[in-house]
Amino acid sequence: MIARRARLAAGLAFLLASVVAADAAEVKMLFPTDRLTQADPAQLTGRRVRLALVNCREAPSTCDEINLLNGLDGWSVNPRMTLAFSGPVKLDSITRSSAFVLPLGDDRAEPVGLSRLVWDAEGRTLYARPERVLRQGRTYALVVTSRVLDDARQPLRRVRGATHDVRLVKRLSALGLTGDDVVASAVFTTRSVTAGLEQIRTVIEAQPASPADFIQAPGGARSVFPRAALESIVFIRQIGTGGAERFAKPVPLELDLVPPADVGTIALGSFESASFLTGSRHIPRAPSSRAPAILGHERVQAVFFLPRGPMPAPGWPARHRLRSRLR
């Protein structure tokens, strides 16, 4: 009789637990996610965003914006994350150990907590940012565990049929968690933010060094000035071209920032540089694994500050390789 009562009690407890679990809230959607991307070997990350287009006739601006996003090789390194739930959740249960961003490519990297939380009660949606900017061109997982509680302080119910990336399961074990502790997850790839600039720099550095021209003063005079002889410098920005050129209000520059004890010469020059801009002043889209094409050349203005003292035999070191005519 006692054994029978014990079995009935255990069965009732299991039934109640099942009812509670069935009534608990669950995660309906996580963003960002690589499910909204497609494989693309031309990209450095191997992926490219693929968002569904709207009706381009009814919403042309939105269509253009989505097309721009669909050219990216991943998501933002500081993404606005979306966590949608089937019911209200306890915001005080959102902690660094209950919901976080986990790097998947580095076993030693620590989880990144969520910050700047914004709760949309009507939409039952939580918006957040990672505590720090993520690294570019890397794979991460947005993870929600059963430590997040719903409004009745019940652990969130695991999404039925949900599976987790094998890389995530491996990383969870190092945190003392298992796949059963995770109620929902979304793997996403961050875009390669600086790839285009790095490739442009490589292309420019492969070009022959451009000589700098220091004949910029009025009347074709040489625009190289000893610092000790200068009393003031005024910066006047041109803000209009065409028939009526317009200039902004003159702004005096702080010469105290370049004292004669440190700076011997100030030179105003220009040099020819490769340009990657179209006539409408934008760089055409290209896969992140390829350098943009050179579309022309433009004159670039530059200001040079030379240290006081004799110039070294190879010339003053500079970030840009220019054959200086200041000797």
Verify that 238 and 94 share a domain, yes or no: no
User: What pLDDT score was predicted for residue 73?
Assistant: 96
- Within a domain: residue 46? no
Where a domain ends, among 169, 189, 209? 189
Count of domains observed in the chain: 2
Where a domain ends, among 163, 189, 215? 189
Verify that 223 and 90 share a domain, yes or no: no
pLDDT tens-digit readout, 257-315? 889 999 999 999 999 999 999 988 889 888 999 999 999 999 998 888 999 888 888 88
pLDDT tens-digit readout, 213-238? 999 888 889 999 999 999 888 888 88
Verify that 15 and 136 share a domain, yes or no: yes
Verify that 184 and 229 share a domain, yes or no: no
Verify that 117 and 227 share a domain, yes or no: no
pLDDT tens-digit readout, 153-212? 999 998 776 778 888 988 888 888 888 899 999 999 999 999 999 999 999 889 888 888
pLDDT tens-digit readout, 109-160? 899 999 999 999 999 999 999 999 999 999 999 999 999 999 999 999 987 7
Question: Residue 119: which of 109, 129, 127, 107 has the closest Cα?
Answer: 127
- Within a domain: residue 63? no
Q: With beta carbons less than 8 A apart as the criterion, state whether 304 and 266 touch.
A: yes
Q: Both tokens of residue 68? A: 């721009």
User: What pLDDT score was predicted for residue 17?
Assistant: 41
Range of the domain at 80: 2-32+75-189
User: What pLDDT score was predicted for residue 5?
Assistant: 46
Verify that 25 and 143 share a domain, yes or no: yes
Verify that 20 and 106 share a domain, yes or no: yes
Angstrom distance (rounded) from CA 288 to CA 196: 7
Kindly state the percentage of the chain with pLDDT values over 90: 56
Question: Residue 212: which of 265, 267, 271 has the closest Cα?
Answer: 271
User: What pLDDT score was predicted for residue 153?
Assistant: 92
The model's confidence at residue 4, banded by pLDDT at 50, 70 and 90, is very low
- The residue with greater pLDDT, 62 or 12, is 62
Residue 188 sits at the vertex; the CA angle it makes with 183 and 189, to the nearest 5 degrees, is 160
Q: What is the CATH number of the domain that holds 86?
A: 2.60.40.1220
* Whole-Å CA distances, 290 to 48, 49, 103, 296: 14, 17, 26, 18
Where a domain ends, among 132, 167, 189? 189
Q: With beta carbons less than 8 A apart as the criterion, state whether 77 and 189 touch.
A: no
User: What pLDDT score was predicted for residue 148?
Assistant: 95
The model's confidence at residue 50, banded by pLDDT at 50, 70 and 90, is very high
Angstrom distance (rounded) from CA 14 to CA 34: 37
Judge whether residue 15 has pLDDT over 70.
no
Average pLDDT, the chain: 86
